[in-house]
Structure formats: structure tokens, C-alpha cells
Structure 1
Amino acid sequence: MQKVYLDNAATTAIRPEVIDRMADVMRNQFGNASSTHSFGRSAKALLEQCRKNIAAHLNAEASEIVFTSGGTEADNFALRSAVRDLGVTKIITSRIEHHAVLHTAEQLQKEYNIDVEYVKLDAHGGVVLESLEDLLKEEGKKLVSLMHINNEVGNMLNLEQVSNLCKTYDALMHSDTVQSIGHYKLDLKKLKVDYLAASAHKFHGPKGVGFCFVRNGSGLKPLIYGGEQERGYRAGTESIHNIVGMSEALDLSYKNIETEKQHIINL
């Protein structure tokens, strides 16, 4: 009996083309991207090529893409640095966010004595904009963290509307877009979000790699200290084969987006 996999919201199978590309990199381009010899320079060039490719899909600058171990680290990076380094005193989120956001906000509340406020939701899990605006009117430096597509109930946030509202009240905006990157097209020149989190294994890429979009001039500081990788944002030798796999998977996801959307509709 052939098994049918129905849990793509949790993780996706790696595309065969991605596996082949990653295997080639592991065999032939295994240098450390921080090394100055030819192997290192080759790895560095590949790393930056992937960064530019991912940024192009999102209409972002390559300098705004910071590679991480996945969505959870990207969420932690944005929220923790916003509180620790940017003086955020209030996080506004919802009760149905991913635990990477909820538990991080709760921990930051304990560590820094910040306020954590929860926006009201409608019967379908959608954000009540009047409630969000009321919270934004309160005093203090604020960060709004609301996911684009919910991993449990599937509702979609109007990112443009919410990010515009945040900017009206001079609040920072973070969104966990783990469920939407690779499945919906985002224009980060148009959207007024400050930080986004993404994870490759949600769009048929490898596990253990993702990225954080950090808008230029945001002022975030590293979550992980050590070397000067990722322009000083994240220490540690970059996993080139995983990053290449993520870039390849994103290419294929957006290339096939309409075909796969129609396939799902037909189901």
C-alpha cells in the first residue's frame, strides 16, 4: 500500500532537483566561505549568489537577507534584538502565533519586564484591526509580531494593511512568513514590514536553514556572537549546501507556483 503524505504545513519533501544540487555542492564546493583561498572564495561567491537570488524573489536588497538555521531562530533574532537593542517596551501579538513568537515574547517579558499585549481575533482567527489600532495608540516603543499565514487554521493576514497601520503609529513590524514564502509572492519594497522569518523546509528545501529579512537601517544586533559572518549579524560558518538547497527550492517553488496552486484547487 502506498502512503499518502498530507502534512505539508509541518514540513515538505525535498525536491529531487534540490537534493542533486546540494549533493554537487557537498562534493565539489565544500570550502569555508570565510577562507581567503580559492576554495573559500568559490564558496563565498556561491553564498552571495544565493543571497541575491532569494532577495530578487522578494524584491528586497541582498544586504537585507540574513541566513539562519530556520524560522525559529529568525523569529528569536528579530524579537530579541528589538527589545534588547532598539528599546522596544511592548510587543503586540496574537494568541494563535507560532510558539517561536509566543514563547519568545513570554521569555522577553520575564527577562526585560516588557509588556506583551494580545490583539483581539474574530471567529475565524483574523486580526480585529480596531483592536490592533487601540493597542498601537498606547504609549511605549512597540513591535507588532503577527504571522502572515497561520500554520494551524490557515487564515491569511493582510500584511500590507497591517504594516501600513504599524507605520502610522511608528511601530516596528515583524511577521513569521514561514508558511507563505515560496507559496505566495511578496514585494518587500511595497510592504512596510521591518522583519520577516522564513524556513526552507516549508517550500521543499532542506531542514536546518532559513533566513531573516532585516530591512536596511533597522539597527538589529546579533543573536549569536563569534565570527563576522553574515555581515556581523550571525556568527558561525555558513552551511553552503543547505543555503544553495534553499535558493534552488525557492526558485522551483516560484517557477511552479501557478501549476501547483491549480493542482491544489483541483483536489
Structure 2
Amino acid sequence: ACLDAVRAAALIGTAQARAHGIRPVTPAGPAPPAGSPVRTLDEWEAKRALASSGLPVPEGALAGADEAVRCAETLGYPVVVKAVSASLPHKTEAGAVRLNLGGPDAVRAAVEAMSGLSERFLVERMVRDAVAELVVGAHRDPVFGLVITVGAGGVLVELLRDAARILLPASREDVRAALTSLAAWPLLTGYRGRPRGDVEAVIDAVAVVARYARAHADRLVELDVNPLLVLPEGHGVLAADALIRLTEESWDA
């Protein structure tokens, strides 16, 4: 009976400690009007919008087919070339991405191969030293409204389904707890001798996404950054791709 009492007291103490850290969930503003037309920003627009809010993105430029090589040479090889269109939210499946292009001939060939998909191309510096790929998104929950999601990203995001949800408003501790709950967390801590990921920069990136989502709560339908490339500790993160869908009402580019 004594041990049962000690156990009960310990459980009560743990619950009370957790209760002190619980904050009320506050609405992130009005939801978009039901049935309002929705506009999908293309990757260039989405990245510019998030970069203006403080999210790091790869160095790059928007170019026509005849400008792609010049942009690549200005950036320095290797580069990534992507076809840019709001109708290409899943570029890998559509063949709208060419990676690790090492010279002008490779860039020309990539642009020619994707010419049927778009007349505009995003040329970016290739990032090759990422230690992990994450997805960070904002979506609407029928009960809680805007909710932030973090998880394992890249092309395997739907296969692995390794994700955690974060209610708003969220502290850095909330984001860190969500990250540590992921099966992919060891990749950020130096898995099998690999460099540690820049966890603090990941938390900063989640904060930017949350801030953008709350600022556009009256129009935001969906936001996804996938993949968010996590670089070695001290070197930050980069949003390699982004998708934003907003209602057209009150649209302000």
C-alpha cells in the first residue's frame, strides 16, 4: 500500500509539472472563405514569399531557356535546373527537375528536355552536403485550425509517414520535442559518425513557417516546404522546394 501511494504521488507530481507548461491554443485568425478560388504559387513565388519572411533558400535565379546557361555560370557549377509552373507541384514525378548539372552542355540539355513543361526555369546552386531532409508544413485542422507539421521529407515523405504535429502558438521547446519524437531524429544527432545537423536552424525555420502561416491565416490553404535541407551544425538549413496555396480573395503578391 505504501509503494502504491508513492507511485500515485509520483504520477500526480508529473501531471502537475506538465500542466504548468500547457498554454491555451489561440486561433490563428479567420479561415479563408469557403468556396473561394484558390491560387497555387509556383516554386519561385513561394520561395520569394518565404525568403522575405526569413526562410533561407538556395542561391538561384529565374530564367528563360536562353538565359539558363548564363545564370548557371554566374552561380557556379554544379547547379539544379527546374521547370517553373504552378501546375507542377510534384516536379520529380513530372520529370521537371535535373540535379547536379556540371557544365553548360548539361544545362542546355536539361532545359531542352523540360521545354514542354514550362518556358521558365529556376536555376539554383546544387547543395550536396545536407545531413537530412525534412518536411515542414502548415495545414488546417477542423478543430484546432492551423497546425504545423514536421517530419522526414524528400521523395519518401508519403512512404515513411514519419511526422509530428505542433499546435500554435509553439515555443522552441515544443518544436524541439516534436523533432526528437521523429524516427528521423538520429539523422540530426550524428547518426553513425555523420555530422550533426543544425537543429537550431531547423527550429528557426519552423518558426518562420508558423509566422508566415499565422500572418496569412485568412487566405492560407496549404503550405509545404519539402525538402528542407538540414546542413551540418552551424551551417543552417535551405528550403529546396516550397508549395503555397492561397485563396485569391484579398490576394496580395
Larger radius of gyration: 2
Fold conserved (TM > 0.5)?
A: no
Q: Determine which structure has the larger strand proportion and give its number.
A: 2
Query: TM-score, with normalisation over the residues of structure 2?
Result: 0.23
Q: Determine which structure has the larger helix proportion and give its number.
A: 1
